[in-house]
Structure 1
Amino acid sequence: MEDKHMLMIPGPTPVPEKVLLAMAKRPIGHRSGDFSKIIAEINDNLKWLHQTKNEVLTLNVSGTGAMEAGMINFLSPGDRVLVGVNGKFGDRWAQISETFGLDTVRISAEWGQPLDPGEFQTHLESDSKKEIKAVIITHSETSTGVLNDLETINKHVKAHGEALIIVDAVTSLGAYNVPVDEWGLDVVGSGSQKGYMVPPGLGFLSVSDKAWQAYETCKFPRFYMDLGKYKKANLKASTPFTPPVNLMYGLQISLQMMQREGLEGIFSRHQRLTNMTRAAVKALGLQTFAADEVASTAVTAVTSDTVNTEDIRKIMSSKYGITLAGGQDHLKGKIFRIGHLGFVSDRDMLTGIACLEATLSELGHKIPAQAGVKAAAAQLV
């Protein structure tokens, strides 16, 4: 059946009809008074979502662009940085750091395992000369479904006194409680195609006063990615360059929807969806790649000893119109990933699990009838 496709990946995520309809409107002048009012509303609601009093900057980039901007605006060539690497995206931030000539120290863990806060503590406490300028962390590691202990790592950064903490919250912002001001997070990057329920194309950065102080001495050249320009424009409810007007229409509506649900409602819904998914996966005789204690609320990575994960993805797509994510790099063909991020409801999850159960049966995987759906539904009681 046409137009019945269902995304169950960690991004792009499903987009609400209200957002799609808003994006279908004709564009208006991005320097007009009417558009300035939209920007002002968006800026206020982004502060609400980030739980911060500081400006949240909107860039015409993906999450990767936001993270790159978050590095080159507050650091200088040769600065020492600690980068947590336990998946595809931690590795990407280390690659960006190395590309820009930063003295990059990788603190690694096996993919599927969380980063050890104690390793960061050791490096930071031994830095008597205060040479470490930043710690760069992926909060929700999308490639493996692991949620790193950002709060504890950040406490060690704060004890150091000098280092900034730069956070990839691309799949945790809008799915997990990230109280930016309460924790004192300096730079937090995210992207529109995740918890924001908007198509790809917008990146967001919240920036602390401490980070803005570092901006004044940053020596990397930048122009389009110069965050000082974005801050200046933000304060005037404007943008330094031409924004994607129709994406901004959609963002305005999605943030209104998030406000109506409320932060606690958003976080509890994502936790419930996570619990449903993990309970169902285990009931179906599959294995979760990450332990329950460190499970991301955005995506669940799944392995199987008996069924080919790519066969599962193929049938889910061709027969049921549901897209699941595959593994990345050395995990390709070894895991599949179920996204439960953004505009996803209990009904969506039950539907996906029922189709997964039917797919496994077709592949000869022996399971009790309705085992997955029953396990998931039990999480709703």
Structure 2
Amino acid sequence: MTEDRLRMTPGPTEIPARVRERMSEPTWNPDVESEFYEFYRELTAKLEAVYGDDDVAVLSGEGILGLEAAIASLVEEGDRVLCISNGLYGDGFADFVETYGGEGVTCRSPAAEPLDLEAIESTLAEGEFDVATMVHCETPTGTLNDLEPVLSLLEAHDVVSVVDAVSSLGGTPVPVEGIDVCLGASQKCFSAPPGLCVLSVSDRAWERIESFETRSFYADLEPWRTAADEEWFPYTHATSNLFALDAAVDAILEEGVDAVFERHEEAAALCRDRTRDLGLEIYPENDDLASPTVTAISLEGRAREVQRRVQEEHDIVLSTGLGDLEDDILRVGHMGHNARAERVERTMDAIEAVLE
């Protein structure tokens, strides 16, 4: 491995020097030093500016912890949960629901196609649901879902909404104001190290969370509503990771959230243009569904070989698809620090050289 290796994966992303340097600073004991609590409150206030919403918490654990914590805290045995899906992570919510005793009803659309509003409305009409889950950016296929029409349907049926925005938050607008629990992670568009999940929680979701008996400890969201104010956390927080996330959020706010979104759009458009110049197809084909944070390139039966050669010959790390699409999709992550034209150009030059 060389020092100039380029990691263009859809998370974890490349981490800027200022973030790495901040992470190396002397740490506090977060259980006893009052300065830590003030720092945590300031960090969540900054995250609220990125979210465009208040009541944000940061948990020690990779992004999947947030998904599980949302279900563990909102779903009791026998609760009906509508799992709205057009991809691998949308389907995965149903596994968490079953783990915590709920009844998961999956309303599935084909991969890389829009969420089926008619099917969702029909399913909602068939019976009452307590909670609904969905994914904003289905990273394995590079699909960005239009959530606002779905959220309107859920609101009309008084259903609590949980959204996995792990691969979109901080890189493209997320309709957080209509979401009850919105989940993000440090290693994606924030370009901080893996190890933290961030989430916003609505008053309606807090009321539901606080009405339940605790059935989990590490994954229970209930203590986080007052943890910072009461200066007590349910476990020792990952202070160095929080330092790194703080520096990463500072970088976003200094650039300006709207400017960051624009930079992601430009990087994505460049990546898609270069892909089509090579005679290749985007997955999904409709640019309205293509995510600004990751581009999935169709390479039927060749993705793993191209991935291997791009790394060995050009020192650039890419990802392939997941599940049945592992060898059919090559994924370029242009999120966070990597959403820059020069990085996309270098990556696409390497793919072009390998394909030739």
Q: Work out whether the TM-score is over 0.5.
A: yes
Counterpart amino acid of 2:124?
A: L
1:294 to 282, 289, 292: 289
Q: Given that residues 8 and 334 in structure 2 are in contact (C-alpha distance below 8 angstroms), is that contact kept between their aligned partners in structure 1?
A: yes
Counterpart Cα distance in 1 of 2:84 and 2:310: 34
Q: Deviations over 1:248-293 (max 9, x none)?
A: 1111111111101111111111111111111111111111110212
Counterpart amino acid of 2:115?
A: L
Match in the other structure for 2:57: 57
Change (3 A) 1:95 1:198: same
Match in the other structure for 1:11: 11
Does 1:201 pair with 2:195? Answer: yes
Does 1:163 pair with 2:164? Answer: no
Q: Given that residues 83 and 132 in structure 2 are in contact (C-alpha distance below 8 angstroms), is that contact kept between their aligned partners in structure 1?
A: yes
Counterpart amino acid of 2:352?
A: E
Does 1:43 pair with 2:10? Answer: no
Counterpart Cα distance in 1 of 2:239 and 2:4: 27
Shift >4 Å, 4+ stretches? none
Counterpart amino acid of 2:344?
A: M
Q: How does 1:281-360 map to 2 (within 5 A)?
A: 281-290=275-284, 291-304=286-299, 308-344=302-338, 345-360=340-355
Q: Given that residues 9 and 318 in structure 2 are in contact (C-alpha distance below 8 angstroms), is that contact kept between their aligned partners in structure 1?
A: yes
| SS of match in other structure, 2:353 | helix
TM-superposed CA distance for 1:12, in Å, is 0.3
Can you give the 5+ residue segments of structure 1 that lack an aligned partner in the other structure? 362-381
Q: Deviations over 1:109-164 (max 9, x none)?
A: 2222232122212222443xxx200110011001111111211110111111x210
Match in the other structure for 2:140: 143
Q: Deviations over 1:165-184 (max 9, x none)?
A: 10000011111111422xx2
Does 1:134 pair with 2:128? Answer: no
Q: How does 1:170-319 map to 2 (within 5 A)?
A: 170-181=166-177, 184-219=178-213, 221-236=215-230, 239-290=233-284, 291-304=286-299, 308-319=302-313
Match in the other structure for 2:2: 2
Q: Given that residues 193 and 199 in structure 1 are in contact (C-alpha distance below 8 angstroms), is that contact kept between their aligned partners in structure 2?
A: yes
Counterpart Cα distance in 2 of 1:240 and 1:80: 29
Q: Given that residues 170 and 190 in structure 1 are in contact (C-alpha distance below 8 angstroms), is that contact kept between their aligned partners in structure 2?
A: yes
Question: Does 226-235 or 257-266 show the bigger shift?
Answer: 226-235
Change (3 A) 1:173 1:238: farther
TM-superposed CA distance for 1:63, in Å, is 1.2
Question: How many aligned residue pairs are there?
Answer: 353
Question: Does 314-323 or 115-124 show the bigger shift?
Answer: 115-124
Counterpart amino acid of 1:300?
A: T
TM-superposed CA distance for 1:6, in Å, is 1.0
Q: Given that residues 62 and 202 in structure 1 are in contact (C-alpha distance below 8 angstroms), is that contact kept between their aligned partners in structure 2?
A: yes
TM-superposed CA distance for 1:96, in Å, is 1.1
Counterpart Cα distance in 1 of 2:194 and 2:11: 8
Counterpart amino acid of 1:96?
A: F
Change (3 A) 1:215 1:147: same
TM-superposed CA distance for 1:97, in Å, is 1.1
Q: Given that residues 75 and 214 in structure 1 are in contact (C-alpha distance below 8 angstroms), is that contact kept between their aligned partners in structure 2?
A: no
Counterpart amino acid of 1:256?
A: D
Can you give the 5+ residue segments of structure 2 that lack an aligned partner in the other structure? none
Change (3 A) 1:193 1:209: same
Counterpart Cα distance in 1 of 2:211 and 2:35: 36
TM-superposed CA distance for 1:237, in Å, is 6.0
Change (3 A) 1:35 1:314: same
- Percent of aligned positions that are identical: 31
Q: Given that residues 39 and 238 in structure 1 are in contact (C-alpha distance below 8 angstroms), is that contact kept between their aligned partners in structure 2?
A: no
Counterpart Cα distance in 2 of 1:220 and 1:331: 38
Counterpart Cα distance in 2 of 1:67 and 1:319: 37
Q: Given that residues 39 and 237 in structure 1 are in contact (C-alpha distance below 8 angstroms), is that contact kept between their aligned partners in structure 2?
A: no
TM-superposed CA distance for 1:355, in Å, is 1.5
TM-superposed CA distance for 1:220, in Å, is 5.3
Q: Given that residues 192 and 201 in structure 1 are in contact (C-alpha distance below 8 angstroms), is that contact kept between their aligned partners in structure 2?
A: yes
Counterpart Cα distance in 2 of 1:237 and 1:179: 30
| SS of match in other structure, 1:343 | helix
Counterpart Cα distance in 2 of 1:125 and 1:261: 45
Counterpart amino acid of 1:221?
A: R
Counterpart amino acid of 1:107?
A: C
Counterpart amino acid of 1:282?
A: R
TM-superposed CA distance for 1:5, in Å, is 1.4
Counterpart Cα distance in 2 of 1:218 and 1:194: 31
